[in-house]
Amino acid sequence: MNDYRSLEEAYQAWKEKVLAPYQARAGERQENFSTVSEIPVERLYTPLDVPGGEYLEKVGFPGEYPYTRGVYPTMYRGRLWTMRQYAGFGTAEESNLRYRFLLDQGQTGLSVAFDLPTQMGYDSDHPMADGEVGKVGVAIDTLADMEILLDQIPLDKVSVSMTINAPAAILLLMVVAVAKKQGVDLTRLTGTIQNDVLKEYAARGTYILPPAPSMRLITDIFRWCSVNLPRWNTISISGYHIREAGSTAAQEIAFTLANGIAYVNAAIEAGLGVDRFGPRLSFFFNAHMDFFEEIAKYRAARRLWADIMKRRFGAKDPRSWQLRFHTQTAGSTLTAQQPETNVVRVTLQALAAVLGGTQSLHTNSKDEALALPTEESARLALRTQQIIAYESGVPNSADPLGGSYLVESLTDRLEEEAQKYLEKIDGLGGAVAAIDAGYVQREIQDAAYRFQKAVETGDQIIVGVNRFRLDQEPPEGILKLDPALARRQVEKLNAVRARRDGAAVKVALQHMGQAAQEPRAPLMEPILEAVEAYASLGEIVEVLTSQFGRYRPPVFI
């Protein structure tokens, strides 16, 4: 290379003298290559693809702004990511046994899956709950269920994450009530509630209240937790479900961060200082199949969020600049055909999340395209994380792929693409306005359509689905739920209603209704009063919907 005046001249000479003759001999495939999100992938990346003068400013070092290389200086040499397997099914008793099994197997944090009626704010005896009780998660109707769910789990030692959104305040306060009964100092309570209702309107659908009262409740959670639960992550702003709905990687970054901006704006408008709640914001991303694109996605998201919090919102506390996130491997990529191949998919996705610097990780089980995971498959999924952690050597260095010409170029490209979406959303008036206008939904739907079209034409190969197929029967040994569990859950709910203090419940619900009528009144305190009186989830939600109504999505043509 010393014979050339510049790297660019050396690269051109290489292409002419070495690459071109080789191509002629080898018959290189001439089609264009791209990531799963349709970002072009070049044959080779060189330092020309990583602007040298901007490298330190844009990439820097782990634990320093803009956090491209990770939020902590030592990353996993200081502490491994939390291995948090998402689980929950049937009744609280059954789910408690699964949590204790996973903790015994080396899991380091709980991740609670709730059934659909709980997510939608219905009690198990509501007509809308018929056929869904305990099916995709655990049924929680009252504080009594939460007491059973967390039985023998020391809340001052085990972090609890809950994938709950519209009724997040209620479920969080049930955990608080259990912690108080255990005698746990609330300042030591750690965990996360997803609490991200904006992505429900855009991509998932488990909403209850309209956007304005939902944002009011979310910001009141920020307020209450900043005083009472200083170590709790008050929101997990979720790109996972956006990606599961079919978005590209750049859309996942942009729509997630746009929702984050909306939550920060709402909290500031409610009178909270950005550094009061900023350090407790967390995020939740998907780990999809395009290995290097996913690693770059996490790095680009960290860099963008650091800039948003520092420059746009003027946050002074470096902890407010840090994008800390949980990752889950991509359920939408799992196949019912040849389900053993899902072990390989999940391993690659988990490795991408670790190389991308996640703080917490769930690995899906191989049988989840068929049913809820069995104990055996859940254990294998956890072992996948443990092998990466303890055998691979990958965690021994912070950001091992930092400086890779490919990874740095993809990081830049994803940042640019996401920034364009953020500017478009700003122009529409922010995330809430963009969702109301149907813009976000249409962009996700269009991306999902393009991907499905590629699968159907064979341009996107899915092993076992559109290539390398086998004729095989569904596997034996999948988990099957007892059809009587719904009846048992309703019996438990009726027993709680029979033994609780009905007058105390009535007073607590009245206090809630009065607070809801006052635009600036706190809501967390009266909800906690109702929870501790053993009011049911459905009764609490009914008071809120009587004041605010239930959200009905607009129809877009």
The 10s digit of each residue's pLDDT in 369-380 is 998 888 899 999
Give the Cα separation of 285 and 242 in Å (integer): 9
- The dihedral formed by the CA atoms of 160, 165, 167 and 170, expressed in degrees to the nearest 10: 30
Decide if 490 is inside a domain. no
Instruction: Let me know whether 116 and 251 are in one domain.
Output: yes
Q: Are 407 and 401 in contact (CB under 8 A)?
A: yes
State pLDDT tens for residues 26-35: 666 666 788 8
Decide if 474 is inside a domain. no
Give the Cα separation of 247 and 203 in Å (integer): 10
State pLDDT tens for residues 33-61: 888 888 888 877 777 776 665 666 788 88
Decide if 465 is inside a domain. no
Please state whether the peptide bond connecting residue 66 to the residue before it is cis, i.e. omega within 30 degrees of 0: yes
Give the Cα separation of 212 and 146 in Å (integer): 29
pLDDT of residue 474: 66
pLDDT of residue 1: 39
The tally of domains found in the chain comes to 2
Residue of 22 and 504 predicted with greater confidence? 504
pLDDT of residue 380: 96
Last residue of a domain, one of 438, 466, 487: 438
What lies within 8 Å, CB to CB, of 316 at 6+ separation is: 275
Instruction: Let me know whether 231 and 127 are in one domain.
Output: yes
Q: Give me the domain span that covers residue 96.
A: 65-438
pLDDT band for position 484 (cuts 50, 70, 90): confident
- Which parts of 322-439 are beta strand (E)? 325-329, 360-362
State pLDDT tens for residues 203-219: 999 999 999 999 999 99
State pLDDT tens for residues 497-524: 999 999 999 999 999 999 999 999 999 9
Output the CA angle 223-229-230, nearest 5 degrees.
85
Extract the tokens encoding 185.
């100092």
Q: Are 361 and 81 in contact (CB under 8 A)?
A: yes
Instruction: Let me know whether 154 and 79 are in one domain.
Output: yes
Answer positive or negative: Cα dihedral of 128, 129, 131, 136.
positive
- What angle separates helix 405-428 from helix 249-269, to the nearest 10 degrees? 50
Mean pLDDT of 233-246: 96
Give the Cα separation of 81 and 385 in Å (integer): 10
Name the one residue in this structure whose structure tokens are 């309209």. Answer: 210
Q: Which amino acid is at 381?
A: A
Decide if 22 is inside a domain. no
Give the Cα separation of 183 and 156 in Å (integer): 9
Q: Are 220 and 211 in contact (CB under 8 A)?
A: no
Instruction: Let me know whether 220 and 347 are in one domain.
Output: yes
Last residue of a domain, one of 438, 455, 470: 438
State pLDDT tens for residues 119-130: 999 999 999 999
Give the Cα separation of 497 and 489 in Å (integer): 13
pLDDT of residue 216: 96
Last residue of a domain, one of 404, 420, 438: 438
pLDDT of residue 75: 92
67 exposed, middle or buried (CB, 10 Å; 0-12, 13-18, 19+)?
buried
Q: Which residues are registered as beta bridge partners of 109? A: 159
Instruction: Let me know whether 113 and 204 are in one domain.
Output: yes
Decide if 255 is inside a domain. yes
Q: Are 225 and 238 in contact (CB under 8 A)?
A: no
State pLDDT tens for residues 178-205: 999 999 999 999 999 999 999 999 999 9
Here the CATH number for the domain that contains residue 115 is 3.20.20.240
Decide if 4 is inside a domain. no
Extract the tokens encoding 389.
């952690």
Mean pLDDT of 285-305: 98
Report phi then psi at 516, rounded to 5.
Answer: -65, -30
- The dihedral formed by the CA atoms of 36, 40, 41 and 47, expressed in degrees to the nearest 10: -130
Is the confidence at residue 4, as pLDDT, over 90?
no
* CA-based nearest residue to 135, from 172, 101, 99, 91: 91
Instruction: Let me know whether 251 and 387 are in one domain.
Output: yes
Q: Are 535 and 510 in contact (CB under 8 A)?
A: no
Find the helix or strand (DSSP H, E) in which 253 lies: helix 249-269
Note the pTM of the prediction, 2 decimals.
0.89
Instruction: Let me know whether 152 and 295 are in one domain.
Output: yes
Decide if 446 is inside a domain. no
Q: Are 123 and 145 in contact (CB under 8 A)?
A: no
pLDDT of residue 52: 60
The answer to which of 50-54, 189-193, 463-467, 482-486 has the lowest mean pLDDT is 50-54
DSSP 137-168: SB---SHHHHHHHTTT--TTTSEEEEE--TTH
Mean pLDDT of 456-477: 87
Is the confidence at residue 450, as pLDDT, over 80?
yes
* CA-based nearest residue to 169, from 543, 433, 434: 543
Give the Cα separation of 448 and 451 in Å (integer): 5
Instruction: Let me know whether 120 and 252 are in one domain.
Output: yes
Decide if 39 is inside a domain. no
The chain-wide mean pLDDT, for the chain, equals 92
Q: Are 408 and 132 in contact (CB under 8 A)?
A: no
Phi/psi class of residue 89: alpha, beta or left (left: φ > 0; alpha: ψ in -120 to 50)? beta
State pLDDT tens for residues 392-436: 999 988 899 998 989 999 999 999 999 999 999 999 999 999 999
